A and B are shown apart, each in its own frame.
Chain A
Amino acid sequence: MTAMVKAEGVHKSFGPTHVLKGIDLEVAPREVFCLIGPSGSGKSTFLRCINHLEKINAGRLSVDGELVGYRQQGNKLYELKDREVAEKRRDIGMVFQRFNLFPHMTAIENVMEAPVQVKREAKAVARERAERLLDRVGLADKAANYPAQLSGGQQQRVAIARALAMEPKLMLFDEPTSALDPELVGDVLDVMRSLAEDGMTMIVVTHEMGFAREVGDSVVFMDDGVVVEAGHPREVLTNPRHERTKSFLSKVL
């Protein structure tokens, strides 16, 4: 079975700052893959590389067996056109820390936007699916509300529904609960848990160690642009082998 995401020696710099210093990892289909680590360790940057919001400088990164951002012919790499990049992003859903809902559209319009505009789906079909998805994240009654009229937790659940509307094969979560009030975190995590139960492949950058332990199939601890430790959540979180992992976990747990 091909890996859903495969990274080999991925490097990324922003100017003089070397953010990713050779990342190797593999995410299997239907796996829930949690990335943890201190801020500035490169977790979010790596996540953004997967759907080509950031360009990698060296190494190989592929999603579902296809290179991200490039096409290989013989020994040569060709950069993909914007249109081709956009086409590949359709299959990868992304949820942001700051939600990034479109504020000028209601909840249901947010969810319908991409299917109608990108897949050219009929509005009635898109609306029906959007209603189903909003119902799934527990917000059927908020369909007509604008994002400004929703709480952070509700906005993030709409954002998840919006990503799901494209029926992605992979979902990326970039610290989805970090901007939320503590009592709103649970609702978002519940939605993510139910997604995991349905077999969605998920890569989750998170500080929620509880979620990583319960739902994660594997956990990777990153620090300073490298993977320090990877393995089953039970091992990494309760029995870390590396000093750096231990000291990080002692601070967050």
Chain B
Amino acid sequence: MTDKLNKAEEPGDAPPPTPAAVPEVIRAVPVRHYGRWVSAVITVALLVLLVNAFAQGKLNWGAVPDYFFDDDILKGVRNTIWITICAMVVGVVLGIILAVMRLSKNPVTSSIAWGYIWFFRGTPVYVQLLVWFNLGLVFEYINLGPIYKDYWSSFMTPFLAALLGLGLNEAAYMAEICRAGIQSVDEGQTEASHALGMSQGKTLRRVVLPQAMRVIVPPTGNEFINMLKTTSLVIAVQYYDLLQAASNVGRTSGATVEMLFLAAAWYLVLTSVLSVGQYYLERRFARGSLRQLPQTPWQKVRTNLFSLRTRRGNV
């Protein structure tokens, strides 16, 4: 068959085909998208009206930049970041443990994990925070033998109550995310690892979890961003977070509502930073699953600039 094809393409001693001359570049009148223009004008007009309304409102906008780097506000920002990180660490570590328990062959551990997830995912985090804070009604003392002994009320500081409330709640969600990740890894991977003589634990650590990470990281990034915003609930346990700081400053300065906008701005800044971090983390765990890693935004900018330059140079 190939012989025939080859023959058909050989019309005598024809010279090798020369690249055809580039035809004239098409210059046509582009289609006018009038609908797009109309919808753009309408949306921009609505936006202007909205911005105008806020600008005209009885708000002292000057207070936002004035207090943006206020010491009290900055302390709130630091505390918010700190409790977010701590609660996520608790959530991720406990979540992985719960996921492994849930997937274990032991029916007792897997049902305990199931029960934990059922309870902590099934009750509002706000209620959980309040419960932790007020557990002093159940336990008057905390007694860890010779190591530690104190009244519950002085043991359960606002920080600890916030940490437990947010972290234990988060663990239930992280457990489900990790379970999905672990189950997404092909069974052949475990078999190959076992066939090489690797133990259960080694297989999990070296083979399954690194691959599960690709599935686990994106929703964990979302959880992190969610957690940052959920920390605003710790006002329930008197923890001095960003929102608490903003409302304190608002009360003393008289710019109550302005300080809420300030808090919103700070939350936006923090979540934006986290989004960028998430992008690079996902890129790192995509190793091996993609033939070529996607370019970072910075690389994209550079290649675009470079290609622009060469294009201009050619013309």
Contact = CB atoms under 8 A, between A and B. Distances in A.
Given A96-B192, A104-B210, A147 B197 contact: no
Interface string A139-162: 000000011110000000001001
B189 A53 contact: no
Contacts of B210: 104
Contact of B289 (A51, A103, A163): A103
Contacts, number: 75
Q: Is the interface of A mostly helix, strand, loop or mixed?
A: mixed
A90 B188 contact: no
Q: Is the interface of B mostly helix, strand, loop or mixed?
A: helix
A148 B288 CA distance: 6
Contacts of A113: 196, 198, 206
Nearest to B213: A104
A28 B142 CA distance: 68
A118 interface: yes
A187 to B, nearest CB: 20
B191 interface: yes
A148 B289 contact: yes
Contacts of B193: 102
Range, interface on chain A = 20 to 34
Given A105-B288, A148-B289, A148-B291, A100 B197 contact: no
- Of the listed residues B194, B195, B200, the one surrounded by the most CB atoms of chain A closer than 10 A to its CB is B195
B255 interface: no
Nearest to A92: B195
Interface residues of B, number: 23
B191 A53 contact: yes
A128 interface: no
Given A100-B189, A103-B289, A53 B196 contact: no
Given A102-B207, A103-B211, 15 more contacts: A51-B195, A53-B191, A86-B198, A87-B197, A89-B196, A90-B197, A94-B195, A102-B192, A103-B289, A106-B288, A113-B196, A117-B206, A146-B288, A148-B290, A163-B196
29 contacts: A51-B195, A53-B194, A82-B199, A86-B194, A89-B194, A89-B195, A89-B196, A89-B197, A90-B196, A92-B195, A96-B192, A100-B189, A100-B192, A102-B193, A102-B207, A103-B289, A104-B287, A104-B289, A114-B196, A117-B202, A118-B197, A118-B202, A146-B288, A147-B288, A148-B289, A159-B192, A162-B196, A163-B195, A166-B197
Interface of B: 186, 188-189, 191-200, 202, 206-207, 210-211, 287-291
Minimum-distance CB pairs A-B, first 8: A90-B197, A100-B192, A114-B196, A94-B195, A100-B188, A146-B288, A89-B197, A104-B288
